[in-house]
Amino acid sequence: MSEKNPVLSGSKLDQLCVNTIRTLSMDGVEAANSGHPGMPMGMADVAFVLWTKFLKHNPANPKWADRDRFILSAGHGSMLLYSLLHLTGYDLPLKELKNFRQLHSLTPGHPEFGLTPGVETTTGPLGQGFATGVGMAMAEAFLAAKFNASKTGLVDHYTYAIVSDGDLMEGISHEAASMAGHMELGKMIYLYDSNNISIDGSTDLAFTDDSRKRFEAYGWHVTEIDGHNHNEIEKAINEAKGETERPSLVICRTHIGFGSPNKQDSEASHGAPLGADEIRLTKQKLGVDPDKTFHVPDEVYTHFRKALENGAEAEKRWNSVVDEFRKSNPDEADLFDTFVNRKLPDDLSDRLPLFEPDEKGDATRNTSHTAINAIADAVPQFFGGSADLTGSTKTFMDGKGVFGPEDYTGRNVHFGVREHGMGAALNGIALHGGLIPFGATFLIFSDYCRPAIRIAALSNIPSTFVFTHDSIGLGEDGPTHQSIEQLPALRAMPNLHVFRPADANETAWAWKAAVERTDGPSLLALTRQKLPTYDRPGYAAASNTEKGAYTLLDAPSGKPELLLMATGSEVEIIMEAARELHKKGVEARVVSMPCCELFEKQPQSYRDTILPPDVKARVSIEASATLGWERYVGDGGTAIGINRFGESAPYLEVYEELGLTKERVIEESLTLLKQA
Amino acid sequence: MSEKNPVLSGSKLDQLCVNTIRTLSMDGVEAANSGHPGMPMGMADVAFVLWTKFLKHNPANPKWADRDRFILSAGHGSMLLYSLLHLTGYDLPLKELKNFRQLHSLTPGHPEFGLTPGVETTTGPLGQGFATGVGMAMAEAFLAAKFNASKTGLVDHYTYAIVSDGDLMEGISHEAASMAGHMELGKMIYLYDSNNISIDGSTDLAFTDDSRKRFEAYGWHVTEIDGHNHNEIEKAINEAKGETERPSLVICRTHIGFGSPNKQDSEASHGAPLGADEIRLTKQKLGVDPDKTFHVPDEVYTHFRKALENGAEAEKRWNSVVDEFRKSNPDEADLFDTFVNRKLPDDLSDRLPLFEPDEKGDATRNTSHTAINAIADAVPQFFGGSADLTGSTKTFMDGKGVFGPEDYTGRNVHFGVREHGMGAALNGIALHGGLIPFGATFLIFSDYCRPAIRIAALSNIPSTFVFTHDSIGLGEDGPTHQSIEQLPALRAMPNLHVFRPADANETAWAWKAAVERTDGPSLLALTRQKLPTYDRPGYAAASNTEKGAYTLLDAPSGKPELLLMATGSEVEIIMEAARELHKKGVEARVVSMPCCELFEKQPQSYRDTILPPDVKARVSIEASATLGWERYVGDGGTAIGINRFGESAPYLEVYEELGLTKERVIEESLTLLKQA
């Protein structure tokens, strides 16, 4: 650790630039009366060197495909990022910094992708940014391997992140770092703000890892520097860039709240405004005018905004590379466009598998496998894998290779037993652009990656989650592996499309919807057990999956007196129940509801056609907790489900034991009709 | 790695014992036609040495307080544990092994605490057992430090676990291992089944950590041995026992599916029955009769069941230590009883804080702090902390010290930024017995520890989760930190009590219910912002919290025409709305619903008293996704909530922006009454 009051390094202008980051950050937090000044002040030197000497970006076009990615994984230090974006010339005026943490500002408490130009991913929940960066670097490695052979210089950028003690304590950092080391993602450069302070006080209270040794164990290249010494920072980043086979961790020893006479090196500067008096003292100590707030000297703007010119030039150079590519290799260039611009074939629906009616049918994880392979053939940027459950989740794309140092153009990924790291990596892959990612595990383990699913939902990221073994239908593995509360828990999350297809063809259409979606994540809950494939010329078309819910089999008269509703594997139960009820003269309608969220988006008129408001006798059945089904069955209806944990036994016995049977549906239906 | 076909080591009897574990495991999986034979076969040697030469336990009394704890973190290898339990004389007859994975057997697919005698914790979801063991070792360290000074030999046992590649890949293993190393829990001895095979194939596909180096970075003592060499196993465990300041990881190089001529060292033996033919070949190779299934030679029983005699003697010795303690130090012995038997003071309710009415009131995180400190004074075994948010979650117990190597009798824990590890550690502390644990973070980060909460719910473990900053009420931190879907997602989980108290006194009663609960976890969702403290002589008593929901303020006539329902901070909104509606002559009742799960457990008559079925005009409001509220508002009602993500701004502005206001409640109420 450098001494308590280190000598300023770098030129005077450099110092003024660095201190401007500090004062903007202090002032922003003070104006909001809320926020985290300490980290931006501590990491201002590192950020300055990175952003002025290394970062390849064009503030005028934050979407330029070959830009370096920068992630502030320690998202609570958001004023650092907002300061950098403003200073380097992104469309983020000073008034937005003054409006830090205010309603409808572009500067929320934690950086949000899609809201603020230049923010590459939403951070704040610790560890997410760290792991999202791995996905970005994976995408870069894939695209570079795929296209640079045809034309050098098409894809050549780094993934930088600033990470914190908190990021490194989170479990997801282990999964992500281990994955990145294994994959030899040499173009990841992570700058670790090692300031020895967390919210509770000294990190020694809880955190005494040897982080260097830990990351070396993952196969990373690790260096350690004084995070206030510009020469050391520059040297370390250069060295990291020179290391092509290992991700780099630069441990930057810093002083949190740098410059604050009374709060530097203390948790007092971590998560609260410094206070007007302390800000005065700090500005005085830093040698800037204590009477000015949100002040940016002209020479500071001039220096930082070279980024605009440099960025425009860099992008121009890249555009000419692309232009040459288009001329020399138009087919490959078209393919490059397909990747970079997320183009899908016009005939995607036609290329989906069409499954013939089959009473015995197949597990939807199997029909999903067929769909995945069809999509993989039609969509070259379709890319994904599983968390060590490739055989069980049936997600292998035949003949598409395995992604890794031996072949970065492989499209199958072995994520390892790392559900959370996988989820965040998917987000990073999707955010990077160029690939359309999916990741698979059992539905029960959605709990292990829930925070990453939430980031996707919050940030409109089209990651697709394939969750098989989606209920008690997995049988013998028992209650630890049988999802009960996962479906309602996932449906409660805004902007997540939860598909639970009832047969092979609904599965194919669910996949189509997932791949075509661009404004948020999708999830497919799939069975281990076989389900019949319905006779689609006989019943309603599976393309209705896109409407979320539809009448699969209507009451014989077309005027239902009873609505039977189900999703996924339980549609088979209501189909069988309906056939028996029809024989008894009951006008029962079967409604398959593969995606409640899409159904809710339909016009009221459509919804009333499917679930006529005057039909009050309604029975739903789902092998899941019933929470939420009341909105469809209403006061007059019955929701059959499982409001307890499961049982370890062959699955048909578990269904019987927990009362998820055709007989129960018939009984509940007749009871309701009698009451009516 | 030892050679492909290692020479058998140990005596002939030892080998017969080890091979009996193997054959029982193969036969169990084969009979079930489902399960994981490879791991039990690979780790049979290690388990045999541990269980016959080291493990201090009494199969006749699986609850003996001073037993060593054994955790099979790789729970999929459950037949290993069931075999050991049966062979050493636990109440687990052979017929249960024959009924592996069958309905209502004591041998479910993955080990379940509370179901099978001798199973210390539920495992299967990878990493949970690993991290739960840390909690057990914490409890042991606390109790040993607390009581052994008065009388040596009261508390002196080890926490052993068998962990797998999968456990080590999961992020939670990082949090738990880092925590254990930091806390210097020297009596943890983890045996790592390093077999180079995971479900997808070779672990090299995804996992190339240097695990020795990684664990050394956490401050662990690491050794590496041939996991089939009994001498090496014995030596390594002895060495680990000799290491008192560092947890130990013994890396055991093993052959998955040991003995199977065609499936050893292959993923084919991991998760599927070997098949009758291969089992024959394996039995032949192991030198046991291929015609016998579930066969246990008499001499094997004789050898293993020495555990009964040894265990009885060990417990007897311990009982005499306790008896001496009772005589020499009766007061301390009473205290020991209080700890070990989870005794609570009879006057706990009287010792809870009683908060005076106060219109300005206080944040429930603050009144929780008062309650926590009152309970900490009344309940000496109350123990807990936070995931680096002690100041924010207000969970510090004043004057109760900090748990760690400097003082293992400290009752406050700095868990670090490790929500998942914390959750599992709480489970381990509760399962160990002797302490009543709680852990705190923000409600949004319940997502980070959800799998551990689920283990608590599934296994009836009374861990208490304190989740503050429980809604958009946290304001400026914004959507990444504002819980929206967390409450419904947690309510969907069976057997979890979700409390969201509306004021200071409800908070105190929620705490009482949590501490008194013994059959499952509780959760307190608490505010960052101030809430009024209601005039309890004027309104209904806060003790009604125990009923889950109650009429806080009734319609003036006592005959409501409108039911207003809310939880937590939104009760203030419906109280204000009701007062205005009363002025307008509307007979509105205010129902506070601090715990839906407890309300659901009340008799129908009570529930109908609070929510009279004939009153259809109902409005609920909760700063959360509305999923699930339909069951209370019904077809005729309106659920006000937030079915989108939040906003970063001062919290009152966020409430206004998202329409969670008194005015909205009044408007929706009047609309409903007009329709009626």
Query: Is the CB of B198 less than 8 angstroms away from the CB of A388?
Result: yes
Give contacts of A414 with chain B, Cβ < 8 Å. Answer: 200, 205-206
Buried b / exposed e along B56-87 (16+ C-beta atoms within 10 A) = bbbbbebebbbbbbbbbbbbbbbbbbbbbbbb
Structure tokens at A147: 């296209």
Closest CB to A418 among B103, B169, B210: B169
Cβ–Cβ < 8 Å for A46, A233: yes
Give contacts of B647 with chain A, Cβ < 8 Å. Answer: 103-104, 108
Our CA angle for B72, B74, B76, nearest 5°, is 105
Of the candidates B599, B620, B670, B482, the one whose C-alpha atom is nearest the C-alpha of residue A631 is B620
Range of weakest confidence among A157-161, B14-18, B147-151:
B147-151
Query: Is the CB of A489 less than 8 angstroms away from the CB of B492?
Result: yes
Q: How far is A260 from chain B (nearest CA, A)?
A: 22
Give contacts of A180 with chain B, Cβ < 8 Å. Answer: none
Cβ–Cβ < 8 Å for B439, B386: yes
DSSP string, B429-479: HHHH-S-EEEEEEEGGGGGGGHHHHHHHHHTT---EEEEES-SGGGGGG-T
Cβ–Cβ < 8 Å for A167, A73: yes
Residue B439 at interface with chain A, using a CB cutoff of 8 Å: no
Our CA angle for B267, B268, B269, nearest 5°, is 90
List beta partners, residue A436: A382
Give contacts of B104 with chain A, Cβ < 8 Å. Answer: 647, 649
Instruction: Name the one residue in this structure whose structure tokens are 């109790």.
Output: B143
Q: How far is CA A642 from the centre of its chain?
A: 30
Residue A7 at interface with chain B, using a CB cutoff of 8 Å: no
Residue B15 at interface with chain A, using a CB cutoff of 8 Å: no
Q: How far is CA A385 from the centre of its chain?
A: 15
Closest CB to A414 among B109, B206, B448: B206
Give contacts of B209 with chain A, Cβ < 8 Å. Answer: 178, 181-182, 217-219
Amino acid residing at B530 = K
As a whole number of angstroms, the distance between CA B225 and CA B236 comes to: 8
Query: Is the CB of B112 less than 8 angstroms away from the CB of A628?
Result: no
Give helix A128-147 / helix A446-458 axis angle, nearest 10°. 80
3-state secondary structure of A139: helix
Q: What pLDDT does residue B7 have? A: 46
Give contacts of A407 with chain B, Cβ < 8 Å. Answer: none
As a whole number of angstroms, the distance between CA B260 and CA A75 comes to: 52
pTM recorded for the entire structure: 0.98
Q: What pLDDT does residue B200 have? A: 83
Q: What pLDDT does residue A230 have? A: 96
Q: What pLDDT does residue B3 have? A: 42
Q: Where are the beta strands (DSSP E) in A526-649?
A: 530-533, 550-553, 562-566, 588-592, 618-621, 638-640
Cβ–Cβ < 8 Å for B390, B414: yes
Alpha-carbon distance values, A262 to A278, B505, B625 (Å): 7, 39, 43
DSSP string, B553-584: E--TTS--SEEEEE-TTHHHHHHHHHHHHHHT
Q: How far is A646 from chain B (nearest CA, A)?
A: 9
Q: What percent of chain B has pLDDT over 90?
A: 96
Question: If contacts are CB pairs under 8 Å, which of residues 165-224 in chain A contact chain B?
Answer: 165-166, 169-175, 178-179, 181-182, 198-200, 205-214, 216-219
Higher-scoring residue by pLDDT: A335, B197: A335
Query: Is the CB of A199 less than 8 angstroms away from the CB of B414?
Result: no
Cβ–Cβ < 8 Å for A138, B506: no
Cβ–Cβ < 8 Å for A370, A398: no
Question: If contacts are CB pairs under 8 Å, which of residues 324-383 in chain A contact chain B?
Answer: none
Q: Which of A101, A164, A200, A611 to mutate to test the interface with B (most CBs of B within 10 A)?
A: A200
Q: B177: how many CB neighbours lie within 10 A of its CB? A: 29
Q: How far is B646 from chain A (nearest CA, A)?
A: 9
> Which chain B residue has the Cα nearest residue A652?
B103
Annotated active-site residue A419? The verdict is yes
Counting beta carbons within 10 angstroms of the beta carbon of residue A359, is it exposed (0 to 12), middle (13 to 18) or buried (19 or more)? exposed
Q: How far is B46 from chain A (nearest CA, A)?
A: 24
Of the candidates A532, A546, A610, the one whose C-alpha atom is nearest the C-alpha of residue A574 is A532
Q: What pLDDT does residue B199 have? A: 80
Say yes or no to pLDDT of B662 above 80: yes
CA Rg value for chain B: 28
Which among A96, A170, A278, A419 is annotated as catalytic? A419
Question: If contacts are CB pairs under 8 Å, which of residues 35-94 in chain B contact chain A?
Answer: 35, 75
Phi, psi of B41 (to 5 degrees): -70, -35
Closest CB to A414 among B34, B200, B448: B200
As a whole number of angstroms, the distance between CA B598 and CA B520 comes to: 12
Structure tokens at B511: 């705490």
Give contacts of A171 with chain B, Cβ < 8 Å. Answer: 170-175, 418, 420-421
Closest CB to A109 among B173, B477, B625: B477
Q: What pLDDT does residue B201 have? A: 85
Structure tokens at A572: 């088979």
> Which chain B residue has the Cα nearest residue A203?
B416
Say yes or no to pLDDT of B6 above 80: no
Q: What pLDDT does residue A10 have? A: 64
The per-residue pLDDT for range A54-100, each reduced to its tens digit, is: 999 999 999 999 999 999 999 999 999 999 999 999 999 999 999 99
Question: If contacts are CB pairs under 8 Å, which of residues 267-326 in chain A contact chain B?
Answer: 271
Q: What pLDDT does residue B10 have? A: 63
Closest CB to A484 among B124, B485, B494: B494
Closest CB to A175 among B105, B169, B217: B169
Q: Which of A132, A164, A174 to mutate to test the interface with B (most CBs of B within 10 A)?
A: A174
Q: How far is A326 from chain B (nearest CA, A)?
A: 37
DSSP string, A48-96: HHIIIII----TT-TT-TTPPEEEESSGGGHHHHHHHHHHHT-S--HHH
Question: If contacts are CB pairs under 8 Å, which of residues 508-567 in chain B contact chain A?
Answer: none
Q: What pLDDT does residue B9 have? A: 53
Which among B267, B315, B419, B570 is annotated as catalytic? B419
For residue B183, the surrounding DSSP H or E stretch is: helix B171-183
The per-residue pLDDT for range B288-325, each reduced to its tens digit, is: 999 999 999 999 999 999 999 999 999 999 999 999 99
Q: What pLDDT does residue B1 have? A: 36
Give contacts of B412 with chain A, Cβ < 8 Å. Answer: none
Give contacts of A207 with chain B, Cβ < 8 Å. Answer: 178, 182, 416-417
The per-residue pLDDT for range A420-458, each reduced to its tens digit, is: 999 999 999 999 999 999 999 999 999 999 999 999 999
Q: How far is A535 from chain B (nearest CA, A)?
A: 32
Say yes or no to pLDDT of B389 above 70: yes
Enumerate residue ranges in chain A where pLDDT < 70: 1-10
Q: What pLDDT does residue A5 have? A: 46
ipTM: 0.97
Residue A416 at interface with chain B, using a CB cutoff of 8 Å: yes
Give contacts of B198 with chain A, Cβ < 8 Å. Answer: 388, 416-417
Query: Between chain A and chain B, how many beta carbons pairs sit less than 8 Å apart?
Result: 348
> Which chain B residue has the Cα nearest residue A173?
B171
Higher-scoring residue by pLDDT: B198, A371: A371
Give contacts of A641 with chain B, Cβ < 8 Å. Answer: none
The per-residue pLDDT for range B73-129, each reduced to its tens digit, is: 999 999 999 999 999 999 999 999 999 999 999 999 999 999 999 999 999 999 999
Q: What pLDDT does residue A200 have? A: 84
Listed in sequence order, the residues at least 6 apart from B433 whose beta carbon sits closer than 8 Å to its beta carbon are B65, B139, B340, B342
Residue B652 at interface with chain A, using a CB cutoff of 8 Å: no
Query: Is the CB of B477 less than 8 angstroms away from the CB of A175?
Result: no
As a whole number of angstroms, the distance between CA A285 and CA A300 comes to: 19
Strands A382-386 and A412-414, by their bridges, are parallel
For residue A456, the surrounding DSSP H or E stretch is: helix A446-458
Structure tokens at B480: 């990444």
As a whole number of angstroms, the distance between CA B29 and CA B100 comes to: 7
